[in-house]
Amino acid sequence: MSCVRKREKSWNAQVRISGWRSFTKSFKTKLDATKWVGNFEKELRLQPIPEKDIKS
């Protein structure tokens, strides 16, 4: 799931996928933020979910 929000003079993009930590990045334009969200979400879904290390 992703979200793009206006934060004062910049755009904040957030990607949250089950099994992964959340990823956030700021951009100057909404178009840049939405492009990053789409590409990054596809990239994460192609990779295996990392195993959680309970001991550390």
Radius of gyration of the chain (CA): 13
In a domain, 39, yes or no: yes
In a domain, 31, yes or no: yes
In a domain, 32, yes or no: yes
In a domain, 17, yes or no: yes
In a domain, 16, yes or no: yes
Task: Report the alpha-carbon distance of residue 30 to residue 46 in Å, rounded.
Answer: 25
In a domain, 19, yes or no: yes
User: Contact, 14 vs 2, CB < 8 A?
Assistant: yes
Q: What is the pTM of this model?
A: 0.81
How many domains does the chain fold into?
Answer: 1
What confidence tens digit (pLDDT) does each residue in 9-56 have?
A: 999 999 998 888 899 999 999 999 999 999 999 999 898 887 776 555
